[in-house]
Copies of this chain bind each other. A is one copy, B any other.
Amino acid sequence: MTTTVIGVGLIGGSMALDAKAAGFSDRIVGVDSNRTHGEIALQRGIVDDIVNLEEGVRMADVIILAVPVSVAATLLPGILDIIAAGAVVTDVGSTKRALCDAVRNHPRRGRYVPSHPIAGTENSGPSAALHGLFRNKLGILCESGACDPDALSRVKHLYTVLGMRLLFMEADDHDRHVAYVSHISHITSFVLATTVLEIEKSTSTIFDLAGSGFESTVRLAKSSPDMWTPIFVQNAQFVCEALDAYIKNITAFRQMVASGMSADLSRTMEDANEIRRVLAGLNGKPAENTGPGQERR
């Protein structure tokens, strides 16, 4: 059985590593428009071979589309046009509606299983690929009703061997929820980096004063613009809804600080502290002293 990974970067490369290790596929082939990335993927043993897009698609039983979501939406219809009989196509994009719309009326729509593994790092490229990236993470599958049952089973099996929990969502719900939790946190981190680099002229002072609190808050600002630009643009409606709420709240916070409204500031931060219980799994984990992280005060 042959699996073709289109885009052997952090996500595609990590998926290839574990799919191979778990025996999901006896042959894993890579496709990448970046020749250097293809060579690194070969050198690291992430893939058995690097071929061109058409070859990779035609020879595959399973195709994993792991390229920026704008490229994925462009490639997907043509890929479905030429896949082998019985082959399955899935993707790993952080937006789902645009991809689903791109093939909604395609005669082979049923062979495509829209998916989104909730995993990654702030790094990119095949040199960032790692084993175990998906273990115990959440894998979201969308529009399962539009997928052929055998195609859906194949992708569920892939995610299961990667160690992921499965969650099913409609594409619109997925895009709204990820905008409200993930996409907004990437933007607040990018903007924090932009702002601190702008107002704190001395980068050595940033380095001196940055405790791990600042480092943790700004970590996502190291993420790849190639990956995130099309995500934000495809998901603009829900991302802007989230940003409008955020901008309203930070403007109100600024006013409380400017006016010395201590009681309101305290109440606002006490309410925000609720995120500790939410992230502890709403399951009575101790709400005190979780996390060893250190930060500047």
Chain B residues with Cβ below 8 Å from A244 are 254
Residue among A217, A225, A247, A270 with most chain B CB within 10 A: A217
Given A167-B208, A269-B229, A278-B206, A200:B181 Cβ within 8 A: yes
- Would A123 and B291 count as touching, CB distance under 8 A? yes
**Copies of the polypeptide in the assembly:** 2
A35 touches B (CB below 8 Å): no
For the residues of A in contact with B, the DSSP-based class is helix
Chain B residues with Cβ below 8 Å from A11 are 297
Q: Contacts A184-B192, A247-B254 known; list 7 others, CB within 8 Å.
A: A119-B294, A181-B200, A182-B213, A182-B295, A193-B273, A213-B220, A232-B265
Contact string against B for A residues 28-43, beta-carbon threshold 8 Å, 1 for contact and 0 otherwise: 0000000000000000
Q: CB < 8 Å: which of B92, B185, B247 contacts A218?
A: B185
Closest 7 CB pairs of A and B: A225-B269, A193-B275, A193-B272, A118-B296, A185-B217, A120-B297, A123-B289
